[in-house]
Structure 1
Amino acid sequence: MNLTETHSVPKFITPIRLQEYGVGIFNSAFTKSALKKAIKKKYITVNNTIATSGTILRGGEQICLSIPQKTHLYKKLIFPLQVIFEDEYLAVVYKPAGILVSGNRFKTVANALSQNIEQSNVIDATKPHPVHRLDYATTGVLLIGKTNTSIRLLNKMFENKEVKKVYYAVTIGEMKSKGEIILDIDGKFSKSYYNLVKTVPSKRFNKLNLVKLEPVTGRRHQLRKQLSAINNPILGDAIYGIENLILQGKGLYLHAYSLSFKHPFTDEQVCFKAEFPKRFKKIFPSKIAELTAITNCN
């Protein structure tokens, strides 16, 4: 049994690669990576011809996605999410620690969205889907697309670095007041800026720092690897932390605080924030209260 979806390309479009145009048009392959995988596995045809990574669309084509499905019973995931914002095109939810954004597991944010997000009334409405990722242990703001067009546009905005992301982390050790971190990650350039917000003494860790982080690129585990590289690993990081200074059982002290961007449909400059986890507040109560009182995303 195959899961099949079709899409008709408008006749009047500028020639564009299938890999770019196809992001978000199929429920079963929302993201750029999922689309690439479907093309590689020969699940996609254009006018009944198997598509490749070099396929160009010129308008009027019929695209078909056909994925072989295993027959098994599905359980419904019951997992309430805090919805920070929602309209017909997109939503913003709070991602808690200890859950994957998407993937092959049953318990993911993606699988929980249909019960937390309203179906859009726009003509190309589709199943709500995350348009970027946060690590399993990271908390904070997660952007969701609700229509095929919004998913495609939001993905493009992330690629073009038109979405400003602000994180906060608790790091270990002596640290400069601000800086730029450039690091090669898996053969790719990565860059982030940091500002030291507050430092408190610690018997075990000598110093704990509340640090504001602004990533320019978006590599896997980027902030965790970068801070480890300058000898200021994130508190609770069991992978990139210093062996004898790893805090067990308290989680990773990394929080996706805010997203700022121009809404692709209203052209309004929007800014969404996620409340700090309690573990941040215990270490820096007054500073977190001060940051929480600020209405903008800076």
Structure 2
Amino acid sequence: MQLIESHKVLSLKKPIRLQDYGVGIFSTNPTKSGLKKAIKKGLVFVDGEIASTALFIVGNETIEFFQSEENKKEFDFDLKVLFEDDFLAIIYKPAGIVVSGNSFATIDNALFQNIKKSTQSDAVKPRPVHRLDYPTSGLLLIGKTNSSIIALNKLFENKEIQKTYHAVSIGKMEESGTIDFPVDDKKTLTHFKVLKTVSSERFGFLNLVQLSPKTGRKHQLRKHLASLGNPILGDKQYYLDNLILNGKGLYLHASTLQFVHPITKENLCVSENLPKKFKKIFPH
């Protein structure tokens, strides 16, 4: 068996059954029914012992989720690895593929053949520590050990990972600014800067926009640009009437990740060039 995820239980006010407490703590097995099946198959351990569905969690335990070798999914898909060491990796996710989920064709299922197994004692199956939307291309951060995954999640929580995106927006825009339009009734913040603008017969103007989100809500950048009246080219969810571009995908790219490596303390800044479809609009 291979260790997939590990979870440290905090102090609890009262005991709770494992199959109730464990719902949602493992990203690769988030549902109650899935967790119950895993427990019955002997794939869940508590403090090093095989757990049962009758077990109660009282606090401070370590819960580990394993995967049996025969159930291991491997999606044969080549990924571009931009950085890798024994603790983490940064890969390029093409547009048009999901990061993880119930389908077989996911980045998660392609990591095994593209990422080297860590030699650390707490090595786990490499897995993404954040998400990019299905139509978005760009950089994706991968954790390779339990300690690095916990540390990377903490960096995200503390907003210590700087992400830069590039998008092509529709219509005339201010040269730069800040968007604080609420998303899902929560505070959000995105800084933007227009790098280039070209005239377009169909769309009026198209802009190459650099985006620096300071919060991380679902579809934040797409909603923020749409709130200005400048939706992202190719967006079929947040758009202006009669200005939908079909067949080219979404023009949104996660171009740079910058942070201090949580284990080695190295300053990392990894970037990936804009996709070809961007360069067709802005060739220089």
Same-fold call, TM > 0.5? yes
Q: How does 1:106-255 map to 2 (within 5 A)?
A: 106-255=104-253
**Cα 1:238–1:147, aligned 2, differ >3 Å: closer, same or farther?**
same
TM-score by length of 1: 0.78
Write the distance in 1 (CA, Å) between the matches of 2:82 and 2:241.
Answer: 37
Alignment CA distance shift 1:36-1:203 (3 Å): same
Question: Cα distance 1:76–1:264, how it changes in 2: closer, same or farther (>3 A)?
Answer: closer
* Cα deviation, residue 7, structure 1: 6.7
Distance in 1 (alpha carbons) for counterparts of 2:246 and 2:4: 46
5+ long unaligned stretches in structure 2: 13-21
Contact 2:5 2:124 in 1 (8 A): no
**One-letter amino acid matched to 1:125:** A
Letter in 2 for 1:50: F
Distance, in Å, in 2 between the alignment partners of 1:78 and 1:109 is: 10
Distance, in Å, in 2 between the alignment partners of 1:8 and 1:171 is 41
Superposition map of 1:253-292 within 5 A = 253-286=251-284
**Could you say if the C-alpha distance between residues 164 and 203 of structure 1 is closer, same or farther in structure 2, counting changes exceeding 3 Å?**
same
Number of residues of Structure 1 aligned to a counterpart in Structure 2: 259
Deviations 1:26-68 (A, max 9, x none): xxx9x967389468967678677434xxx642xxx4535589x
Provide the rounded CA distance (Å) in 1 between the counterparts of 2:65 and 2:257: 32
C-alpha separation between the residues in 2 aligned to 1:209 and 1:129? Answer: 34
- Amino acid of the structure 2 residue aligned with 1:109: I
User: SS state of the match for residue 221, structure 2?
Assistant: helix
Distance 2:224 2:268 in 1: 28
After superposition, the Cα gap between the structure-2 partners of 1:117 and 1:35, relative to the gap in structure 1 and judged at 3 Å, is closer
C-alpha contact (below 8 Å) 2:172/2:205 kept by paired residues: yes
Task: Report the residue type matching 1:34 in the other structure.
Answer: S
Q: Which residue of 1 aligns with 2:90?
A: 92
Preserved contact between residue 74 and residue 113 of structure 2 (Cα < 8 Å):
no
Rounded Cα–Cα distance in structure 2 between residues aligned with 1:127 and 1:272 = 23
Aligned residues with identical type, % of pairs: 50
Name the structure 2 match of 1:289. Answer: none
* Residues 6, 146 of structure 2: 8 Å contact kept: no
Q: Letter of the 1:86 partner, please give it.
A: E
Q: Give ranges in structure 1 of 5+ residues lacking alignment.
A: 10-14, 19-28, 287-298
TM-score by length of 2: 0.82
3-state SS, counterpart of residue 282 of structure 1: helix
C-alpha change, 1:74 and 1:144, in structure 2 (3 Å) is closer
Instruction: Note if 1:34 corresponds to 2:27.
Output: yes
What's the secondary structure of 1:285's corresponding residue? coil
CA distance in 2 between partners of 1:145 and 1:5 (Å)? 11
Deviations 1:161-216 (A, max 9, x none): 00000000000001001111112212222111001111000000000000000001
Q: Judge conservation of contact 1:6–1:62 (CA < 8 Å) in 2.
A: no
Structure 1 residues 199 and 39 mapped into 2: Cα distance closer, same or farther (>3 Å)? same
What is the RMSD computed on CA atoms of the aligned residues?
3.0
Alignment of 1:29-108 (within 5 A): 34=27, 37=30, 49-51=55-57, 56-57=59-60, 61=61, 63=63, 65=65, 76-108=74-106
Tell whether the 8 Å contact from 2:167 to 2:251 is kept in structure 1 after alignment: yes
* Partner-residue secondary structure (3-state), 2:263: coil
Amino acid at match of 1:188: K
